[in-house]
Amino acid sequence: MSDNREILHHDEVPEVRHENERKVLGIDLGTTITCMAFYDVETDRYTDLVGDGNNQEDLVCSTVTFEKERVNNEGGVALRGDIGRDPPGDPVRTVSLVKRVIGKNHESFKRSGEERYINYNVEESENTGIIGIEADEEMDVDEELKKTKEKAKKSLKIRVEVDGIVEFYAPEEISSMVLRRMRQNAERKLETDKLDVVVTVPAYFNCQQRKSTAQAAKLAGFSGRIEILNEPTAAAINHVFTHEEQTGYFLVYDLGGGTFDVTLIHVNHSRTEFRVLNIDGDSHLGGEDFNNDFLDYVGERIKQHCEIDIFAKENAELKAHCRRECENAKKRISSEEQFNLHVDFLIGVEPFLITFPRIGNHYNFQENENDFTGHVYYAKIEAKIDKTIDIVRRVLREAETKGVRKDDVKVLLIGGSSRIHLIQKKLCAIFNPAMINQQEDPDRAVARGAARYAYRHSKQVNMKVEDAMALQIGIVTTNHDGRGRNITSLVPANSTLPFPSTTRRFRPANANQPFVNVELVQGEMKNYALLDAFSMPVASAETIVKITYSVDENGLVSFEIALNEGGDRTRETYRRTAHISYISDEQLEVMMARAAQRERDDLAIEELSRREEWSDRNDDVQEGGIIEIE
């Protein structure tokens, strides 16, 4: 299938003249909230574009609710995703928090424990993983190693059921529906379909998660350049230009709905160079984890009171309702000394109260007598908050080795969860409070910075950005029987992007092995993500293994391995290029066709609705004027 959409690598990016030819969007595709901004390079102003054409809110829930809709008068029906709605009474029709699923295999999803809290079904996707073992059938591959790799290659799919219609979607497709709505509204607002886009991701996203996000943007129908940018870097760009900061060190504390990043950035004088010095974080820690703690507490109290388990599979609707109550309660909990949650939604159970009492003055860090932060809720989430503070301290220790003094660092708080008072209290214990910026708009800063970043190649915006890759990339090799493990780092953590093409030469560790197993991995060696896995033949101890790799400015790795059996001067006998994705090119084409059909169905549904509305309005009108003669 011919397609002009592309993700440009660093060395392919020409100077762009967006002010005359194309418009550029910055999109913060968040775990719970999505925001979109447009930067007008001529006026040097941002526009926070309306994400939902039905209201004036520019912050849109990152949810997709499915409904069965009629697409024509012949009885044709389709499932239609409605973007940005709060979860309805039937939770299995609503998919949310997909950012915590995208780019992961089914095995890592099961390990995360996320299944307990979401209200839709995630299943193992058969034969969709691209990772595999490329070994001849006669190779005596270690069975345990084979099982491990087979698990790792299994992708996942999201099950949606509406009125007996069951469909399965890849996480990339769900995210693309949110991005497609943003694209459609931007086209209407800006009166053009010539759109480039910068989609932000957590700095701690690995290559697969970044690739999946880019694929989601492609499925959403963006017709121009698609770029990926780290969220903290985007926030720093926005802050520096908005507040006219000239130079200095900035630590971005980014705690969103589902992820956490700490990024240390240096900005030179005149704001022309942004250099990321260090990144740390946790791609599975955010405000939703705090909500989960709240939900666990409420679930325990309900079970104690009436022996109803809200986490039981048959109680998915009840769990969804409790989650909404918890989210609403969380917004009030720091302004009331003793908060009571009124439980009046259990069928056959008399209403009762769940009390969130203060637990003393331990958490009262402000003199404001209305600041009641010493609730059970804060006691439960403190361990997770302390984890973020430990990461901040780790980044500062690393910065000191590079000559960066803590007192010279300004702190930017980004992400909706950074508003929690207890977090600000703990940061004030590390930094001079005057160095902590609390004036930033934590929900919109990332999208605005991404929009400006896209113009870095134009003459109007003189800006150089040297981002970094948080997670190291390496290879793990073993003998054919799974023994003799060897770990080699290829790209160290916090390497500047893009990482240039590099070729390294290897030889077999011993001659008595018909083949070796190779795993391309990313992250800490104790808990790494498997990017690719295969077995390659080794003819003799003289075999030369050449590995060539690079990482582009989007954080996407290229990896190729080649063998020369008799040394460098002999012919090449084996070559493999890694495909870092759970979606093959063929599958992506199918998804593209499916997305195009979905957009056509949406247009048909809207047209049918308009016609029926017009017909209803004219039912009560008496005939007059002229009528057509048959």
611-629: average pLDDT = 58
Distances (CA, A) of 514 to 481, 563, 566: 10, 13, 15
For tokens 């932000």, the residue is: 200
The model's confidence at residue 240, banded by pLDDT at 50, 70 and 90, is confident
The bridge status of strand 339-343 relative to strand 45-48 is unpaired
In a domain, 124, yes or no: no
Range with the lowest mean pLDDT among 44-53, 155-164, 190-199? 44-53
In a domain, 143, yes or no: no
Q: In what order do the strands lie in the sheet with 273-282?
A: 436-437, 409-414, 248-255, 260-267, 273-282, 464-466
Token code pair at residue 450:
């991404």
pTM: 0.83
pLDDT of residue 488 exceeding 70, the answer is yes
Going by the DSSP 8-state scheme, the letter that residue 20 receives in this structure is: T
Backbone angles phi, psi at 600, to 5 degrees: -65, -40
Q: Do 573 and 475 share a domain, yes or no?
A: yes
Range with the lowest mean pLDDT among 135-144, 290-299, 307-316? 135-144
Tell me the β-bridge partners of 473.
491, 522
How many domains is the chain built from?
A: 2
Going by the DSSP 8-state scheme, the letter that residue 225 receives in this structure is: B
In a domain, 605, yes or no: no
Yes or no: say if 7 and 227 are a contact pair by the CB < 8 Å rule: yes
In a domain, 67, yes or no: no
Cα–Cα distance measured from residue 68 to residue 43, given in angstroms and rounded to the nearest whole number: 44
Cα–Cα distance measured from residue 583 to residue 128, given in angstroms and rounded to the nearest whole number: 7
Yes or no: say if 316 and 91 are a contact pair by the CB < 8 Å rule: yes
Yes or no: say if 380 and 357 are a contact pair by the CB < 8 Å rule: no
The model's confidence at residue 254, banded by pLDDT at 50, 70 and 90, is very high
Cβ atoms within 10 Å of 468's Cβ, excluding its own: 22
Distances (CA, A) of 364 to 332, 335, 386: 16, 12, 17
Backbone angles phi, psi at 149, to 5 degrees: -70, -35
User: Domain boundary at 365, 380, 395, which?
Assistant: 380
Cα–chain-centroid distance for residue 607?
A: 33
Q: What is the pLDDT of residue 143?
A: 55
Q: What is the CATH number of the domain that holds 515?
A: 2.60.34.10
In a domain, 456, yes or no: no
Summarised one tens digit per residue, pLDDT across range 274-285 is 999 999 998 788
User: Domain boundary at 332, 359, 380, which?
Assistant: 380
Tell me the β-bridge partners of 549.
502, 559
In a domain, 558, yes or no: yes
Tell me the β-bridge partners of 279.
263
Closest CA to 341 of 355, 330, 327: 355
358-374: average pLDDT = 41
Closest CA to 440 of 205, 230, 237: 237
Cβ atoms within 10 Å of 630's Cβ, excluding its own: 3
User: Is the peptide bond prior to 498 cis by the omega test (within 30 degrees of 0)?
Assistant: yes
The bridge status of strand 33-40 relative to strand 45-48 is antiparallel
User: Domain boundary at 550, 577, 604, which?
Assistant: 577
Closest CA to 213 of 251, 167, 189, 178: 178
Element (DSSP H or E) covering residue 506:
strand 499-506
Yes or no: say if 14 and 457 are a contact pair by the CB < 8 Å rule: yes
The model's confidence at residue 105, banded by pLDDT at 50, 70 and 90, is confident
* 3-class secondary-structure state, position 240: helix
Q: What is the CATH number of the domain that holds 328?
A: 3.90.640.10
In a domain, 317, yes or no: yes
* 3-class secondary-structure state, position 607: helix
Q: What is the pLDDT of residue 373?
A: 41
Q: Please spell the DSSP secondary structure of 372-416, one letter per residue.
A: ---BHHHHHHHHHHHHHHHHHHHHHHHHHTTT--GGGEEEEEESG
Looking at the chain, the whole-number percentage of residues with pLDDT higher than 90 is 29
Cα–Cα distance measured from residue 197 to residue 455, given in angstroms and rounded to the nearest whole number: 11
The model's confidence at residue 579, banded by pLDDT at 50, 70 and 90, is confident
Element (DSSP H or E) covering residue 140:
none
Cα–Cα distance measured from residue 464 to residue 444, given in angstroms and rounded to the nearest whole number: 22
335-363: average pLDDT = 69
Q: What is the pLDDT of residue 370?
A: 36
Cα–Cα distance measured from residue 252 to residue 413, given in angstroms and rounded to the nearest whole number: 6
In a domain, 184, yes or no: no
Cα–Cα distance measured from residue 528 to residue 108, given in angstroms and rounded to the nearest whole number: 10
Summarised one tens digit per residue, pLDDT across range 425-443 is 899 999 999 899 876 788 8
pLDDT of residue 89 exceeding 60, the answer is no
Summarised one tens digit per residue, pLDDT across range 295-348 is 898 899 899 889 999 999 888 888 888 888 887 777 666 555 566 778 888 888
The range of the structural domain enclosing residue 475 comes to 469-577
